[in-house]
Chains A and B, each alone.
Chain A
Amino acid sequence: MLREGHQVSCVDEDPEAHALLEVSLESSWEDAGGQFTVGTGLETDALLAAGVEQADAFIASTDGDNTNIVIAQIAQRRFKVPTVIARILDPLRAEWYENQGVRTICPTRVAIEMLEGFVRDSVGGGAGEAA
């Protein structure tokens, strides 16, 4: 997103995560225009420091479904960020929250669809029975 000319601000509770951002980057994350805040998504102060009030889009993609669902709703309801997306691994909950107006990405669902696609392609595109 940074390379496309957007401003990107990351929040992570692990200060070391900053190094990951600079992998395959020619300059430092900050020189490239990025911002990095140490904190968790439930800390209002960290979100404010990261500039949530000015954000056009907010992506909640920590490794915890519950955390993502909560902070996505904070971004949406409290800070009125226009576009909010949450990563939810659990397909059932992803579907329900999607219906509640939280835009979700469900990697499990995506992987299942890809795997199904591969299987269908390899058995000849068809009405074959599931193994």
Chain B
Amino acid sequence: MAERMYILVIGAGKVGWNLARELLEKGHEVTLIENNHERFATVEQELEHSVQYGDASELWVLERAGISRADMVIAVTGDDEDNMLICQVAREKYSVERIIARVNNPRNRQHFELLGVTPYVSATDLILRLLEHEVPEYGLIHLLDLPEERLEIIEMLLADDSRVAGQRVGDLNMPQGSLLISVLREGRGFVPAPDTVLEAGDEVLAVLDPGLEEDLKAFFGPNGG
């Protein structure tokens, strides 16, 4: 393990409890905070002193758990307002460098962003993304989105009628702001050379500036489309 961290995990539901256990197993120091006494008692039987009872939206509870020396705060309660505010306070009041928040209702994502609570994790979004992966007619798959760094990586399947099938990579005139970084063929990935010839059925990975998805879709898409 590269670095032993002190991590506060807020909310000992299924997500929080399992996460805390895995982080402990990886050798991190963890404090899990739970505000339901019955749940706390259950979890305490396993995690012992690594779990504390209290409402983590109250500052004294965070302070008792040692938030000022925490390297990371992960808020995974079932309540979006709690997750937002715990992370906001952790970052802005206690200068915790790394935060992760759970989004329960995807409609609240805009509020997380407004309050500067990023990155966040939304189970709904993750499932939708898997769905995109499984359902090819979506065409273009987002593999990585880093809006603040203005960076995206996408994957696209080259259909039989793709206009670039049969072309040499060196001859491709990729849209400005995009770069072909990898080709997956028959289950194996490789970095294409200028004389690599693209084939229908290839999956291509490209890095691009945000906003170029449609251009790339057209570029790798069907002829004359």
Contact = CB atoms under 8 A, between A and B. Distances in A.
A64 B81 CA distance: 10
Contact of A70 (B58, B85, B93, B107): B85
A93 B59 contact: yes
Interface in B98-151: 107-108, 110-111, 114-115
A66 B58 CA distance: 10
Interface string A84-104: 000000101100100010000
B115 A73 contact: yes
B59 A66 contact: no
Summarize A's interface: helix, strand, loop or mixed.
Answer: helix
Nearest to B82: A66
Contacts of B108: 42
Contacts of B89: 93, 96
A8 interface: no
B97 interface: no
A92 B59 contact: yes
Contacts, number: 43
B84 interface: yes
B79 A66 contact: yes
A3 interface: no
Interface in B68-82: 79-82
Q: Using C-beta atoms within 8 Å of the partner chain, give the interface range for chain A.
A: 10 to 19
A92 B58 CA distance: 8
A49 B110 CA distance: 18
A83 interface: no
A70 B60 contact: no
Contacts of A65: 57
A42 B111 CA distance: 8
Nearest to A76: B114
B92 interface: yes
A78 B116 CA distance: 12
A100 B79 CA distance: 23
A44 to B, nearest CB: 7
B92 A100 contact: yes
Given A42-B108, A92-B60, A96-B59, A73 B114 contact: yes
Given A74-B114, A100-B92, A42 B58 contact: no
Contacts of B81: 42, 64, 66-67, 69-70
A107 B92 CA distance: 25
Interface in A23-58: 42-44
21 contacts: A42-B81, A42-B108, A43-B107, A64-B81, A65-B57, A66-B57, A66-B84, A66-B85, A67-B81, A70-B81, A70-B84, A70-B115, A73-B115, A74-B114, A78-B114, A90-B59, A92-B58, A93-B58, A93-B89, A96-B59, A96-B93
Interface of A: 42-44, 64-67, 69-70, 73-74, 77-78, 90, 92-93, 96, 100
Interface of B: 57-60, 79-82, 84-85, 89, 92-93, 107-108, 110-111, 114-115
